[in-house]
Structure 1
């Protein structure tokens, strides 16, 4: 577990990242609360090429608050928006992220900050609070889909997180500046967790309140399409970050299958001193060769990954 040396809470500086996409109805309510909570060194709002009036509504707040900044990211995808925000951040001690749909209570950030004395990363956990289920009373598919994908992620990465898709997080500044993402879109949360797991950084989850979207604010998530895409991203992230583990498992499956097909011609040879099931023998040998190729591919890709991440850390 990585811990950090915590400064006096009144002396630490924290910046807030808010990615938005077509949240003209919700983001003013969120920014009003942020405006009344004077704990941020900087509030950076990233408009992800919204087609509604979000940009103009945010700009009204930026004009009134010297610590508010608004930037635009034309390339769509939450990951692209966050990456641009990170790139444009001024130096601080910690960085908080919150979705711009006003479903998270900004005051919860203060609760998360109390854990920064022991952890470099603190996540808000919606799942442990029954309010999350109540807020999705009209769409249980989101809740159970979230639960299923979280379990799938935990299985793949041997983790024990409760809410991998939370939109409220706090990171140590020096840590988040080192992040390097391979993918975009809704896979951001998944890849953040993968990076932290790879670097053996423990994530503290703190139960938070979650409320239903209000007004005209609508979720941009397609439960089926994006759910399948996220699961695919989890699998590809697993291959990217743990290639030896993946190809070793794959190789073991091919090897076991080759043994199964080899059994019948081998049994024939012992009984009749001749092999009649030639196709089974060919399949067995082919699968055995594939299992060796998978195993050695895993070794090669694991070393390439280590070199790649060493370069990134430089």
Structure 2
């Protein structure tokens, strides 16, 4: 028999100007998961984040493209592991919950585990930015309606992934909307999601959030809109077609009524506009059907790619000899 396969765990910490908290974060995670490798990706910090993280025992790398999405993309590409733990460097998420969150991954019950800040009320109690709480609720409602799901925390930064998810997710976002994109991707591709409540704590005094309520809120909504269009094209273009159809009726009904009464059409511009709106409605619906077929084929290809990726990993070849 060959050597036992030892699971590799990577703790991924994207950082931008976190010198006040990064030392504690790295040390907490090295203590909570001594078998894991802690990676800190410095995203053009103007302080001593990278130096402090290295002294605390983390492997420090640099990502020059600004934005959390760009950092996560590089992390998933560069780091080879079986379990990926993604947290922030601001000391808001408890390292003590790591093993609890990892359990569904280890037992093959989940592809992504979400650290849920909202269920126990800790986020609302600790967070000093009420508009962020409102934004979380609004985006959660939109996504749950769109994908017929029942997730509680869409935008948490505390997540754990298996290798299959991390290595096959196409990351398009550049900024803080990356968490929303991960959730949407998992829902659309039928990855298994498990949510576990955690205690959230606000940033310590002197640490400044990089989030901007309105700018990042608009980015998140744009991401939801793009995902709706890209992954639910039939529903999206049916909605667009319905709008054109209703407008066409509003403009066209007086023309039809006039023709029935007088057998003549005096409102030529209205008639042309009504016909144009109806053509747009028909075209939108046709586009929806065509794109829905393409998306369905893409999902089939993605499933085949996942299967191929799974069999290429040594974990599946030696799964009866895993040592943890």
TM-score by length of 2: 0.85
Equivalent in the alignment of 2:214: 224
What is the count of residue pairs matched by the alignment?
298
Equivalent in the alignment of 1:112: 101
Instruction: Describe the SS at the equivalent of 2:136.
Output: helix
**By percentage of residues, which structure has more helix?**
2
- Structure 1 Cα separation of the partners of residues 89 and 214 of structure 2: 23
Equivalent in the alignment of 1:267: 257
Q: Please, which of 149, 152, 167 is the counterpart of residue 177 of structure 1? A: 167
Equivalent in the alignment of 1:131: 122
- Structure 2 Cα separation of the partners of residues 50 and 26 of structure 1: 13
The answer on whether the counterparts of 1:122 and 1:206 sit within 8 Å (CA) in structure 2 is yes
The answer on whether the counterparts of 2:30 and 2:36 sit within 8 Å (CA) in structure 1 is no
Instruction: Describe the SS at the equivalent of 1:209.
Output: coil
The answer on whether the counterparts of 2:69 and 2:172 sit within 8 Å (CA) in structure 1 is no
Q: Quick one: structure 1 residues 40 and 296, their matched pair in 2 at CA, closer, same or farther if it must change by over 3 Å?
A: farther
TM-score by length of 1: 0.88
- Structure 2 Cα separation of the partners of residues 234 and 56 of structure 1: 37
- Structure 1 Cα separation of the partners of residues 89 and 33 of structure 2: 18
The answer on whether the counterparts of 1:15 and 1:40 sit within 8 Å (CA) in structure 2 is no
The answer on whether the counterparts of 1:121 and 1:170 sit within 8 Å (CA) in structure 2 is yes
Equivalent in the alignment of 1:289: 279
Equivalent in the alignment of 2:24: 29
1:98 is the counterpart of 2:87: yes
- Structure 1 Cα separation of the partners of residues 219 and 169 of structure 2: 22
The answer on whether the counterparts of 1:16 and 1:40 sit within 8 Å (CA) in structure 2 is no
Equivalent in the alignment of 2:311: none
Instruction: Describe the SS at the equivalent of 1:134.
Output: helix
Structure 2: tracts of 5 or more residues without a match: 309-324
- Structure 2 Cα separation of the partners of residues 251 and 274 of structure 1: 29
Q: Please, which of 201, 216, 233 is the counterpart of residue 211 of structure 1? A: 201
Equivalent in the alignment of 2:131: 141
1:247 is the counterpart of 2:242: no
Equivalent in the alignment of 1:51: 46
Instruction: Describe the SS at the equivalent of 2:59.
Output: strand
The answer on whether the counterparts of 1:26 and 1:215 sit within 8 Å (CA) in structure 2 is no
Moved over 4 A (4+): 303-309
